[in-house]
Amino acid sequence: MIPFFNYSELFKQNQSEYLKIIEDVCSRGAFILQSDLEEFEKNAAEFINVKNFIGVANGTDAIWLGLKAAGIEKGDEIILPSHTYVASPAALHFVGARPVLTECGDDNMIDINDIEHRINEKTKAIMPVQINGRCCDMEAIYNIASKYNLQIFEDSAQAFGAKYNNRFAGTFGLFGTFSFYPAKLLGCFGDGGALVTNDDDLAKKVRLLRDHGRSQSGEVVEWGFNSRLDNLQAAILNFKLKSYPNDITRRRDIAMQYNNGLKDIKELILPPPPAYKPYFDVYQNYELRAEKRNELKIYLESEGIKTIIQWAGSPVHSFDKLGFKNISLPKTDSFFNKCLMLPINMTLSNDDVNKIILKINKFYE
């Protein structure tokens, strides 16, 4: 059996270190806004070269806290791809803004050519989603945003450590957000997230918003919420961050193996292989397009290989119960008829990868 993601095996890989961390943090009674969080925030900020890294309760909160701090409000419109998690438009919904959805481009990211004609006087920002551990074409997005005087907010939940032109995902616009959900690139043992920004004023607002509007001295200075990253989760993340560069290398290595083993199958369109310029991909997922996708998925399952269709097969514009009605995004629909994610994670062995490659080749023979 090759599971899509092996949560318990990942824990067991470093079990004794994790148990030591849990014992240390708990015996110090250091649970909320403590030194481990501060250290993680400092180290993670250095890692992606950003001024402010603020731990929050999860990646969804990170987006809407950022939107609130940026002053996004009822009636504002924000442009984002339909190929994203429902969390991205939900964050917009809860500040009263309208999500304006775009097509998915050939690189599976926001379709650069489907942004400009959706801009109007209500548009406040473009929210690229750095999906699958890859950055969007940030130069093109930056040029459009500058031309129309729009902000850029990055949902980089899936792209911690990814780069474009040597700049890290999350650091291109006014703010960027990350998720530390257990199956994410850098995962904790529950929910966790972060907002990053080079704007000190925005950072100050988000720090207030995440902790009941309380200033450093504990004085309540405005209305706030409770959305803090647990100190225990931060301690785990701080430990994992040390070996994170190795994780990235391993993921890129698996992606290269997939690329070499599958590139001659004409029924497949593979994601871009690891390349240094201008993209540096970290492969949260290995998402390809496959002819006879459903049959391939069933075949692999019968061979003990679990694959997943992202977002359970539903792009955001298909959620009619959320008010998305009569939205025509044919490129995205056709993508969702073919897309499939192969296992890529830190418990996958080279034998596993070879088996997956072999079976896929066998299926198309």
Ligand X SMILES: *Cc1c(COP(=O)(O)O)cnc(C)c1O
Contact 47, 39 (CB under 8 A): no
Here the tokens at position 7 are 């949560």
Residue 285 sits in the site that holds ligand X (CB under 6 A): no
Q: Which of 85, 164, 168, 335 binds ligand X (CB under 6 A)?
A: 85
Contact 94, 73 (CB under 8 A): no
Residue 332 sits in the site that holds ligand X (CB under 6 A): no
Residue 6 sits in the site that holds ligand X (CB under 6 A): no
Contact 47, 238 (CB under 8 A): no
Residue 137 sits in the site that holds ligand X (CB under 6 A): no
Residue 60 sits in the site that holds ligand X (CB under 6 A): yes
- The per-residue DSSP string of 114-142 comes to GSGGG--TTEEEE--B-GGG----HHHHH
Calculate the CA 242 to chain-centre distance.
20
Strand, helix or coil at 195?
A: strand
Residue 88 sits in the site that holds ligand X (CB under 6 A): yes
Residue 99 sits in the site that holds ligand X (CB under 6 A): no
* Residue nearer to ligand X on the CB measure, 87 or 186: 87
Contact region for ligand X (CB under 6 A) — 34-42, 54-62, 242-250, 349-357? 54-62
Measured between alpha carbons, how far is 304 from 4 in angstroms, rounded to an integer? Answer: 10
Residue 158 sits in the site that holds ligand X (CB under 6 A): yes
CB of 267 to ligand X, least distance (A): 27
Give me the residue label for tokens 């400092």: 42
Residue 181 sits in the site that holds ligand X (CB under 6 A): yes
Q: Which of residues 112-131 bind ligand X (CB under 6 A)?
A: 129, 131
Residue 132 sits in the site that holds ligand X (CB under 6 A): no
Residue 110 sits in the site that holds ligand X (CB under 6 A): no
Strand ranges across the sheet with 339-342 = 268-269, 286-290, 339-342
Residues that bind ligand X (CB under 6 A): 58-60, 84-85, 87-88, 129, 131, 155, 157-158, 179, 181, 191, 193
